[in-house]
Structure 1
Amino acid sequence: MNKNELVSVVAEKAGLSKQDATTAVDAVFDALQATMAKGDDVRLVGFGTFSVSHRAASKGRNPSTGAEVDIPARNVPRFTPGKGLKDAVNAS
């Protein structure tokens, strides 16, 4: 499912126009992104948790030259599914 398909499903299920559904979906994505950019978690009970994990700096190797490369520290987004989502996926 891509974003346009998600907007269509939200519009149909919520009885909204596609324009209103697009605004709602964009608002949810913006809120998730802004919250995670601050380093905070977003917990949606029954669905899952969006969190930020810190990855420490490390050394790597360039596979073509074998030269050692410094990989900088960074924050990476993570998603941990909740029980409700796991049960729904495994219900088939």
Structure 2
Amino acid sequence: MADKSLNRTELVAAIAAHSGQTQATVNGVLEAMFDTLATSVGNGTKVSIPGWLSVERTHRAARMGRNPSTGAAIQIAAGYGVKVSAGSKLKAAAKG
């Protein structure tokens, strides 16, 4: 597991320093990007940034499960999940 992390505030500050934009501008762009991403994936549209990542909604079928407290069988309803895949540039950066 990674021993370092970068929170949103630090990410905004780093992007602002790298791009020469204000932190408010960068924060607004990130907020718009996340809103667009959430809306698109929520509508079933796959979002792909070639080389970096792709995000898509997946369907999970109904299935049987077990209540961990009682061991009783329960029906788990069908639903949706999100699949995030790293692209080649992101994978290469992770390798060092």
Normalised by the size of structure 1, how large is the TM-score? 0.92
Q: State the distance in 1 between where 2:72 and 2:87 align.
A: 42
Q: Which residue matches 1:50?
A: 55
Q: State the distance in 1 between where 2:83 and 2:67 align.
A: 26
Q: Give the Å deviation of 1:26.
A: 0.4
Q: Which residue matches 1:8?
A: 13
Q: State the distance in 2 between where 1:84 and 1:9 align.
A: 19
Q: State the distance in 2 between where 1:6 and 1:73 align.
A: 36
Aligned AA (2:30): V
Any gaps of 5 or more consecutive residues in structure 1? Answer: none
Say whether 1:73 aligns with 2:78: yes
Q: State the distance in 1 between where 2:85 and 2:45 align.
A: 14
Aligned AA (2:46): D
Runs of 4+ in 1 over 3 A off after TM superposition: none
Q: What number of residue pairs does the alignment pair up?
A: 91
Q: Which residue matches 1:18?
A: 23
Q: Which moved more, 1:39-48 or 1:13-22?
A: 13-22
Normalised by the size of structure 2, how large is the TM-score? 0.88
Secondary structure in structure 2 of the residue aligned to 1:59: strand
Secondary structure in structure 2 of the residue aligned to 1:28: helix
Q: What do you get for the CA RMSD once the two structures are aligned?
A: 1.0
Aligned AA (1:17): T
Say whether 1:85 aligns with 2:90: yes
